[in-house]
Amino acid sequence: MTPSSTPAPFDTKPMFRAHGAGNTGQIGVEKFLVKGADGNEYPVLVRSSIAVEAARRTDIPGEPWPRNVSPSLKPGDTPWGKHASKNLGISLIRADRELDLDTGWTNTYEPQERWWGVEIDFPPALDEVFGVTNNKQSATIFSELANFNWREEAAGLSYEEFRETLREEGDRRLPLIEIVYHIREKLLGKLRSDLADQTQGTGTSRKRHEVAEVQAEEAVKRRRAEAPPSLTDKLAEETTEEESKQLQYESLVKTHRYSPADAQRIIEETVSQGKHIRLLTSRNPDSPAFFNVEYIPGMLQVALNMDHPVYNDLIAVLDQDIDGASREELAERLASTAKAFKLLNSSPGHGSRTSNRRSPANVPSGCVRTGDASPVNSSEPATLTTRTTSDDRPHLAPNRTAPRHGEASRNPDRPLHQEGGFPGSARRHPHSRRTDHLCNSVVRTGSGRRRL
C-alpha cells in the first residue's frame, strides 16, 4: 500500500479492514439505489471498516507494537490511536472527495468509537436529496438524521407503514430512510459489538475489574476466617488443580466464547496471583440476566452480560476514564447512568424485596439479594417458600422452607432452554423475583455443571 500519514507501524500497512458481508460481492460494501430530484435512481455505496486487532492488542503473533510504544498503554493513547480519534464519525464522499466528517452518529464519550469507520459515497446528482450546501461543505438533510429515531415518530406503526406515511406526506427524508435504517439498526450495533469482543480477555478489558476483584478477595479472606468453607472451597477439596483449570478453560471458551489463547492467559494470571474470584464480560442476548455466577472448584466466577441493556448505559460508561472529558461528555455519561438505574428500577420484580433476610442453606453464597448489604453467606437455615408470579416465574417468599434442588424450583410448563441463564443452562435459581432477572448461578464440578 502507499505510505500514509498514520503513525508507525500503520504508515505502511492498513490499520482498518473491511467489515461485514455487503451485497455487492465486496466485503463491507452495501449498495443502495436512491431516487434523485429528477426521478432517476442513483447508486449510493455504504462502506464499513473496523480496526485490525494489532492496533488494539499487543499479543498478536508477528505484529508487535513498536519498541518506543509501551505495551501498557491503552490503545487510544498510542500514536495511532490518537490519530484515529481525529477521524471520528461518518465520512460523506461526493465525487471522490470527502464532503464532511459527520460526528453526529458517534458516542463522543466512548473511546472505542475511533476504531470503526463508515463511508457514504454518493454522486452529485443526489445533492438535493442529501441536502448538500452551496459551498459543498456539508449535507444537512443527512446530518439531521443522525438523531433520527423512526420508532418514536412512527407511533406504533411498522417500519413499512411508517415509510408509506412519509411517502404520502412527501417527506424529504424518505429517500435516505433505508440507508439510515441500515446504519442505525444493523451496522453500528454490529461494529460496536465486534469491537467490544476484540479486546475481550485482554489487559484492556481486564483492568476495569481489578479493584473489584481485590475487594472481593479481601472479603473472601475475612469470610474464611469467620465462617465454614464456601461451596467453591468444598468443590476444590474434591478436585485437583488441573481439573479445576480444565473446568475454567471450558467455561471461558465454550460458554463465554473467549479465544483459547485468551482463556489460557486469564487462567494463568488468576493462578499466579492466587485469586479465588474472577470478574469478566460475556455475551448472551437471549438471557434476561445482567450477570451470571459460576461456582468452579476454588473459583467464584462472575460474568457481566454485555448484551443486557444496563451494560452499555451503566458499566461501560462507569469504566471510562474522565481525564480530559468535557462538561458535555460528563453530563452525557451521567444521563446514561441515570437511564440504567431507571431501567433496573422499572424491571419486572423490582418490588419483590427481601430486605435483610438470610439465605437458605442451599442458596449459594455470592448472589446479592435486593436489600442485602453484602453477598448472601450463612450456614443458618431460613424459612422461605416459592410462589408463582404473574409472569409464571417462581420466587421465594416467607413462611416455608425453601425447596431442595430439583423440587418446585421452576415452572414445570416452561421448557428448560427458555428459562434464561447462559448457554447450556438447565434451570433458573428460585432465589427471588428480583434476582431471577439479574442473576443466574451455575455449579461446575468434575462431572459436569448444574444450574442452581
* DSSP 3-state of 445: strand
CB of 295 closer than 8 Å to CB of 364: yes
For residue 143, give the nearest of 103, 183, 184 by alpha carbon.
103
Confidence (pLDDT) at 427: 32
Residue 360 has what DSSP assignment?
Answer: P
* CA–CA separation, 230 and 404 (whole Å): 18
What does DSSP say about strands 16-18 and 291-296: parallel, antiparallel, or unpaired?
A: unpaired
What residues contact 350, with CB distance under 8 A and at least 6 apart? Answer: 344, 370, 434
Q: What is the pLDDT of residue 174?
A: 93
pLDDT of residue 182: 92
Structure confidence at residue 266 (pLDDT): 85
- Kindly report the number of other CB atoms within 10 A of residue 40's CB atom: 11
- Backbone Cα Rg of the chain: 26
The overall pTM is greater than 0.75: no
- Over residues 76-112, the pLDDT tens digits come to 999 999 999 999 999 999 999 999 999 999 987 788 8
pLDDT at 35: 94
Task: Fill in the amino acid letter for 367.
Answer: C
Residue 223 dihedral angles phi and psi, to the nearest 5°: -65, -40
Domain residue ranges in the chain: 16-198, 203-307+347-447
- pLDDT lower than 50: segments of the chain: 204-206, 349-438, 450-452
Which grid coordinates are listed for 124? 452529485
pLDDT at 351: 32
